C-alpha cells in the first residue's frame, strides 16, 4: 500500500470512528475532515481555483476565536465551544479570514507564486470558500500548498481532489502536492494499460471457457449417436420379428 493510500485510509477510519462516537469540540481534528477541490478552467488557462470546505461548522468557531472575529469567551471549560449558526457568516465576511486563506493556501508554478483572490463568500459552512490564483502563464502543472487549521492543531487533515481523479491527503509534514491540470497525470497511462490488460485477460478466459463448453457439448452429441443408431436397429428387428 502506498503512503498516500495509507494516509487516506487512516483519515477515513478516524473520521468514521468519530462519526459513531460523540466527541467534544476539543477533538475537532478527528471529526469530519476538511476538503479542498483543485480545478482548472480551459477558458481561463492561467487560473487555478481552490475551493476549501470546513469539516465541522464548530471548527469555524474555533478559527473565528483564533482570528479575533469571535470572542474568546465562547470557549467552555470542558474544551468545547459555544457554536452559533451566525459564526460562519461572521468568519466568512471578515478581512482576517481572507488574509488567513491567502496565507494558508498557496499555488506556485515552477518557482513563481500565483496571485490569489478570494471570491465572495456565501454560506461558508455549506459551500466553503474559493480562491482563484492567477499565474503568469497558462498552467499545465501546479504545486498547491494547503495548511488550513494546522496552526490550531497539527492533527488536522484535508482530503483533496483534482482533475482526472487525482487525490491526496494534506496533513502536517505533507502540506504541498503537485497537480496535473492539463493532460493525463503521471502514471495514469500505465494504470489504464494495467486495467486494459486485466479486462483483456478476463475476456480471453471467458472465450476459452465458452469454447471448452461447446467442445464438451459436441463430444456428448457425437458419443450419443452410435447408441441411438443401435437402439433404432434393435427396434427395427423387433418389428420384423
Render pLDDT for 129-171 as a digit per residue (tens, 0 to 9): 999 999 999 999 999 999 999 999 999 999 999 999 999 999 9
Q: Say if residue 147 is in the same domain as residue 51.
A: yes
pTM attached to this predicted model: 0.66
Task: Please count the CA atoms within 13 angstroms of the CA of 98 that sit on its side-chain side.
Answer: 10
Total Cβ atoms within 10 A of residue 178: 14
Q: Say if residue 163 is in the same domain as residue 74.
A: yes
Q: Say if residue 157 is in the same domain as residue 172.
A: yes
202 occurs within a structural domain? yes
Render pLDDT for 54-93 as a digit per residue (tens, 0 to 9): 999 899 999 999 999 999 988 888 878 888 999 999 999 9
Q: Say if residue 125 is in the same domain as residue 52.
A: yes
Strands 105-109 vs 112-113: parallel, antiparallel or unpaired: antiparallel
Render pLDDT for 114-124 as a digit per residue (tens, 0 to 9): 999 999 999 99
Q: Say if residue 62 is in the same domain as residue 172.
A: yes
Residue 10 has pLDDT above 50, yes or no: no
Question: Please, what is the Cα angle at 42 between 134 and 54, to 5 degrees?
Answer: 60
- Give the separation between CA 6 and CA 136, rounded to whole angstroms: 35
Task: Please count the CA atoms within 13 angstroms of the CA of 203 that sit on its side-chain side.
Answer: 6
- Give the separation between CA 138 and CA 51, rounded to whole angstroms: 20
Strands 141-146 vs 157-161: parallel, antiparallel or unpaired: unpaired
Q: Say if residue 199 is in the same domain as residue 141.
A: no
Number of folded domains that form the chain: 2
Q: Which domain covers residue 83, as residue numbers?
A: 34-180
150 neighbors 175 (Cβ within 8 angstroms) = yes
Q: Say if residue 176 is in the same domain as residue 189.
A: no
Mean pLDDT of the chain: 79
126 occurs within a structural domain? yes
Q: Say if residue 190 is in the same domain as residue 170.
A: no
Q: Say if residue 176 is in the same domain as residue 193.
A: no
Strands 157-161 vs 34-39: parallel, antiparallel or unpaired: parallel
12 occurs within a structural domain? no
Amino acid at each position: 500500500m502506498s503512503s498516500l493510500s495509507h494516509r487516506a485510509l487512516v483519515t477515513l477510519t478516524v473520521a468514521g470512528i468519530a462519526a459513531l462516537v460523540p466527541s467534544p469540540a476539543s477533538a475537532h481534528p478527528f471529526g469530519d475532515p476538511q476538503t479542498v477541490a483543485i480545478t482548472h478552467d480551459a477558458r481561463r488557462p492561467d487560473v487555478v481555483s481552490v475551493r476549501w470546505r470546513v469539516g465541522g461548522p464548530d471548527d469555524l468557531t474555533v478559527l473565528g476565536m483564533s482570528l479575533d472575529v469571535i470572542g474568546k469567551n465562547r470557549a467552555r471549560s470542558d474544551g468545547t465551544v459555544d457554536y452559533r449558526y451566525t459564526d460562519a457568516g461572521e468568519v466568512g465576511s471578515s478581512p482576517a479570514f481572507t488574509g488567513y486563506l491567502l496565507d494558508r493556501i498557496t499555488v506556485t508554478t515552477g518557482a513563481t507564486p500565483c496571485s490569489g483572490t478570494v471570491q465572495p463568500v456565501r454560506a461558508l459552512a455549506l459551500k466553503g470558500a474559493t480562491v482563484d490564483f492567477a499565474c503568469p502563464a497558462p498552467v499545465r502543472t501546479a504545486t498547491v500548498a494547503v495548511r488550513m487549521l494546522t496552526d490550531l492543531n497539527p492533527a488536522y487533515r484535508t482530503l483533496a481532489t483534482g482533475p482526472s481523479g487525482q487525490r491526496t491527503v494534506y496533513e502536517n509534514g505533507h502540506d504541498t502536492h503537485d497537480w496535473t491540470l492539463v493532460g493525463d497525470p503521471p502514471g495514469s497511462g500505465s494504470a489504464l494499460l494495467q486495467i486494459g490488460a486485466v479486462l483483456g485477460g478476463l475476456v480471453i478466459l471467458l472465450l476459452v471457457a465458452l469454447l471448452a463448453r461447446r467442445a464438451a457439448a459436441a463430444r456428448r452429441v457425437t458419443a450419443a449417436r452410435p447408441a441411438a443408431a443401435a437402439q433404432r436397429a434393435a427396434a427395427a428387428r423387433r418389428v420384423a420379428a
